[in-house]
Amino acid sequence: MTTPTNEASRRGMKGHVTRWINNIQKFDNVQMDLTTLNQVLVAESNLRNTYSKYKRISEGVARDMEQAGATQEEFQEEVDSQIKVEEEVGDALMIVKRKREELKEIQAAEERKRHEDMLLLMFKTQQIAADATRAQKKPIKTLPGPKKKSMKTLQELKREQSANKKIKINKIYSDN
């Protein structure tokens, strides 16, 4: 088995670069959240790594072409090919950048909403406390109700009890 040439290695690496570009592009129209951002960042990291390898191998391809005595037209095709891949990578990285900014905007909006909700809650709490304070300061008005029965004195209660006992005793004797 022979070692792969720079050209063959680069073709394989271009396939990986294309795969990561496509992986990033599928997130272009997806609503961002932390999980999605994490997936995009992993794809970005892998794209940057594979593109770095692609560029390194492309330099080897250029050396091989020079040693083989390639024509100016072949060199221009090589440069055009590299520029095309570089533009595709740049477009994918712009998607990543846009998605990061999108998530930052979403998080900022959520933070503003939480802050507004907290301020509203504080305001409502202050209103309730102020209302309670005002209610305590106002005299309590009582509605006129039925007149209270006057309380019987202790002597009156004792008289009633003794009268009730006498009635019971008389009743017991009269039944016999």
What is the per-residue pLDDT across 56-96, written as a single tens digit (0 to 9) for each?
999 998 888 888 888 899 889 989 999 999 999 999 999 99
CA distance 8 to 19: 17
In this model, does residue 111 exceed pLDDT 90? Answer: yes
The model's pTM is 0.63
What pLDDT, on the 0 to 100 scale, is given for residue 154? 73
> Of the ranges 37-51, 104-118, 122-136, which one carries the lowest mean pLDDT score?
122-136
> Any idea where the domains of the chain sit in the sequence?
6-109
CA distance 34 to 111: 15
- The contacts of residue 57 (CB under 8 Å, 6+ apart) are 6, 9, 10, 13
In this model, does residue 4 exceed pLDDT 70? Answer: no
Helix axes 34-68, 72-137, angle to 10 degrees: 170
DSSP 146: S
* Percentage helix, strand, coil for the chain under 3-state DSSP, each rounded to 5: 80, 0, 20
Q: Tell me the pLDDT band of 15, cut-offs 50, 70 and 90.
A: very high
State the DSSP string of 25-73. Answer: HTTTTSPP-HHHHHHHHHHHHHHHHHHHHHHHHHHHHHHHHHHHT--HH
Asked if 85 and 14 count as a contact pair (C-beta separation under 8 A), the reply is: yes
Helix axes 72-137, 6-25, angle to 10 degrees: 30
Share of the chain above pLDDT 70, in %: 86
Q: Tell me the pLDDT band of 132, cut-offs 50, 70 and 90.
A: confident
What pLDDT, on the 0 to 100 scale, is given for residue 85? 95
What pLDDT, on the 0 to 100 scale, is given for residue 166? 74
What is the per-residue pLDDT across 42-52, written as a single tens digit (0 to 9) for each?
999 999 999 99
> Of the ranges 89-103, 111-125, 135-149, which one carries the lowest mean pLDDT score?
135-149
Q: Tell me the pLDDT band of 1, cut-offs 50, 70 and 90.
A: very low
CATH topology for the 6-109 domain: Methane Monooxygenase Hydroxylase; Chain G, domain 1 (1.20.58)
